[in-house]
Amino acid sequence: MRMSQLYSATLREVPAEAEIASHQLMLRAGLIRKVAMGIYSYMPVGWRVMKKIMQIIREEMDAQGGQEMFMPTVQPAELWQESGRWNVYGKELWRVKDRHDRDFLLAPTHEELITAHVRNDVRSYKQLPLMPYQIQTKFRDERRPRFGLMRCREFVMKDLYSFDRDEAGLEISYQKMHTAYTNVFNRCGLTCRPVVADSGAIGGSGSHEFMALSEVGESQILFCHKCDYAATDEIAAVEPCPTGVGETPASMEKVHTPDCKSVEAVAALLGMPANRLVKTICYMADGKFVTVLIRGDRQVNEVKLANVLGCVELFFADDETVRQHGMEPGYCGPVGLNQDVPVVADREVALMVNHACGAGEKDYHLKNVNPQRGDYRIDTVADIVLVEKGAACPVCGAPLDTARGIEVGQIFKLYTKYSAKLGARYLDEKGQEQDIVMGCYGIGVGRTMAAIIEQNHDDYGIVWPMSVAPWQVEIVPVNDKDEFLVEQAEGLYQELSKRGVETLIDDRKERPGVKFNDADLLGFPLRITVGKKCRETGTVEIKIRATGEVQEVALADVADIIQNLVRSMLQDLHCS
RNA sequence: CGGGACGUAGCGCAGCUUGGUAGCGCACUUGAUUUGGGAUCAAGUGGUCGCAGGUUCAAAUCCUGUCGUCCCGACCA
């Protein structure tokens, strides 16, 4: 490709709307242009990168038995009413009407449609397993799109669905996808970590998210340095550390604590650390009033809590509702609570000895409360704690560390959640009808591109890994008026192109500084500079973008050396 | 959905307090000089100041509304 003909415009200044490096660089390098909030055009250079990522994904999906297909974005509402998600999905589901005023939607994901296809086409166990997939545009009317391609309303996603006879089959498909995802992200040059993720009401170890480690990631992960435990903060478990264990239960005591509504204030007044207190928090779970008990210095993990309660909607109860259930906001406590109020306690709370808590009436707290003595009722004991840095690893007990990550992929065991609802069944060897066991597996393609830039950039611009670079090599003739240099550069361009090396020649009538800066911004892995040394000594310069390493080579050797460099840099990324 | 900020040329911004008919840098066009890290000089192109009302002889500027955008939070696959 000739840069003089390329539809691309680089910007010197950073557009004011962009906050993070990948977003700024994608705009400055002319990879994307914004159309509306969370909606972008992929410009020619950006789309070349997208196509490369998609090709890597295709190869890895196909290697595991995936079969590519393509399904529509616009889907009739009926299908989603059948699965129940038309009502459950909420405002994020982008609903549209056709000219006959019939309900349609712009699909955020394709479980319903693919399951409907499979239910019509699959009758026998002999047709399973299946792994259809597509790379396609998805719509989610996000409440708050942000950070460029990181969180969009329209985005490109690879979605694969596995259909198996039983859970053993699902386990195999799931492992295949785990392997495929690891390969995809390695080949893209991403440092990625699979972590245990929330799998909603289904439960179990049914989901992993693939996190590209990055400061600007929207997800927090907790991991162990000693063993390989890693999970999102939504689901991370922790070894309970109850306080007061070993003490003799003392008799309960009511203490006057005027104007002590916060844990800190109560702890200060009672002269004890916050971890000797129990907080009582009142929630509305799908419209039902629930109280939740947790150690004073801990935070409630609402994702875990929602899973325990099996609810969809969860928020704090307002003061009035709290009073209606016989408690005083700021002084809530479990002792003597109304029988009709469900009590969920964190595992730690149930083991605590001589803890303090609210007395349920204004300006009073209780000391030396003991759940195991039966001082109050607990209906459900569960892990509902938000794990923080330094907490004990649930596997080996070492302190957990935290990191931030960009969720570039998620794999998920669906079991029969959709097949049962939509009636996707097959006949087994005994002629028995069975629900098909499903899994779903997604990769955000644009988000992957953004994550690659987050992990591979410097002050000058993008530093593409060889496998996803829009062009592998750029040739820069330093002086466009010097016919000899231009001729040599053109000759090199022809030779490399003939050899199948993806080459861009900067044949613009620009000064060298402009060309060098654009080359750095656009991030081509290799740059060949054809300058006056070419005339004087017959050599050109090869510069490696990532390391800054420069070597001078004879004109006659350049093509061979470049070809070898490209090959070895691809091999380093397990792409040959 | 709550809080904060911002909409003036493709990009970055000034002008608004104190109303007088729009400006700077970059980019872009033409010419000359220049050519190993964002050149210099000269001459140009480009904006109904987000939109709609209102106040006024007069509105980018004041008032009201509205739309759009960004950030923080809440919410949510």
Any atom of strand B under 7 A from CB of A16? yes
Residues contacting residue A295 through CB under 8 Å, at least 6 positions apart: A242, A243, A275, A277, A278, A279, A346, A348, A349, A352, A385
Instruction: Quote the CA–CA distance of A132 and A238 in Å, as a whole number.
Output: 37
Interior CA angle at A227 toward A218 and A211, to 5°?
Answer: 20
Q: Is the pLDDT of residue A201 over 70?
A: no
A175 to each of A172, A296, A323, A462, how far by Cα in Å? 5, 40, 51, 33
pLDDT of residue A561: 98
Helix, strand and coil content of chain A, in percent to the nearest 5, comes to: 30, 30, 40
In this prediction, residues A401-425 reach a mean pLDDT of: 93
Alpha helices in A42-104 (DSSP H): 44-63, 77-83, 85-88
Residue A309 pLDDT class (50, 70, 90 cuts): confident
Give the pTM: 0.91
Instruction: Write the pLDDT tens digit of every residue in A207-255.
Output: 999 999 998 888 888 899 999 889 888 888 777 888 999 999 999 989 9
Note the CA–C1' distance, A326 to B52, in angstroms.
Answer: 53
pLDDT at A203 over 50: no
Give the pLDDT confidence of A115-134 residue by residue, as tens digits. 999 999 999 999 999 999 99
Residue A392, Cβ neighbours under 10 Å: how many?
A: 17
Residues with Cβ within 8 Å of A199's Cβ and at least 6 positions away in sequence, in order, are: A205, A206, A207, A412, A413
A281 touches A269 (CB < 8 A): no
A315 touches strand B (CB under 7 A): yes
DSSP single-letter state for residue A391: P
pLDDT confidence of residue A172:
97
Residue A371's nearest CA partner among A383, A356, A386, A360 is: A356
| The 3-state secondary structure of A208-272, one letter per residue | EEEEEECCCCCEEEEEECCCCCEEECCCCCCCCCCCCCCCCCCCCEEEECCCCCCHHHHHHHHCC
The separation, in Å, between residue A17 CA and nucleotide B49 C1' comes to 20
pLDDT for A205 equals: 59
Residue A426 confidence (pLDDT) above 90: yes
For position A143, what pLDDT does the model report?
A: 83
A30 CB and strand B closer than 7 A: no
Give nearest nucleotide to A147 (CA–C1'): B70
Residue type, A350: A
What is the biggest distance separating any 2 CA atoms in chain A, rounded to whole angstroms? 97
Bridge-based pairing of strands A39-42 and A67-68 is unpaired
Residue A90 confidence class, pLDDT cut points 50, 70, 90 = confident
C-alpha angle with apex A499: A494 to A502, nearest 5 degrees?
Answer: 75
* A444 pLDDT above the threshold of 90: yes
Q: Is the pLDDT of residue A511 over 70?
A: yes
| Strand B contacted by A259 CB (< 7 A) | no
Closest C1' nucleotide to A519's CA = B37
* Range name among A90-94, A178-182, A439-443 with the lowest pLDDT average: A90-94
pLDDT range class, residue A200, cuts 50, 70, 90: low
Residue A51's pLDDT band, with cuts at 50, 70 and 90, is very high
Alpha carbons within 13 A on the beta-carbon side of A530: 26
Amino acid letter, A234: E
> What's residue A136's pLDDT?
95
Instruction: Flag the least confident range among A50-59, A82-91, A140-149.
Output: A82-91
Using alpha carbons only, give the angle A198, A69, A32 rounded to the nearest 5 degrees: 70
Q: Is A553 helix (H, G, I), strand (E, B) or coil?
A: strand
Q: What percent of chain A has pLDDT over 90?
A: 67
Judged against a pLDDT cut of 90, whether residue A502 lies above it is answered with: yes
Contact A531, A485 (CB under 8 A): yes
Is the ipTM reported for this complex over the cut 0.90?
yes
- The average pLDDT across A280-293 equals 86
Q: A399 Cβ partners below 8 Å, 6+ apart?
A: A389, A390, A391, A392, A393
Pick A323 or A434 by higher pLDDT: A434
Between β-strands A550-554 and A457-458, what pairing exists: parallel, antiparallel or unpaired?
A: unpaired
Bases of chain B within 7 A of a CB of the protein: 1, 11-13, 25-27, 34-39, 68-77
Q: Is the distance between the Cβ of A145 and the closest atom of strand B smaller than 7 Å? A: yes
Tokens linked to A129:
């397993």
DSSP A117-158: HHHHH--BGGG--B-EEEEEEEE---SS-BTGGGB-SEEEEE
Question: Both tokens of residue A448?
Answer: 């992957």
Tell me the average pLDDT of chain A.
Answer: 91
- Alpha-carbon gap, residue A388 to A399, rounded angstroms: 10
**Please, is A13 exposed, middle or buried when counting C-beta atoms within 10 Å of its C-beta (0-12, 13-18, 19+)?**
exposed
Whole-number Å distance, CA A36 to C1' B53?
A: 27
For the cut 80, the answer to whether the pLDDT of residue A204 exceeds it is no
Q: How far is CA A413 from the centre of its chain?
A: 16
- List the end-to-end C-alpha distance of chain A, in Å, as a whole number: 23
pLDDT in tens, A346-385: 999 999 999 999 888 888 899 999 999 999 999 999 888 8
A 320-339, residues with C-beta < 7 Å of strand B: none
Could you tell me the distance in Å between the CA of residue A16 and the C1' of nucleotide B57? Answer: 40
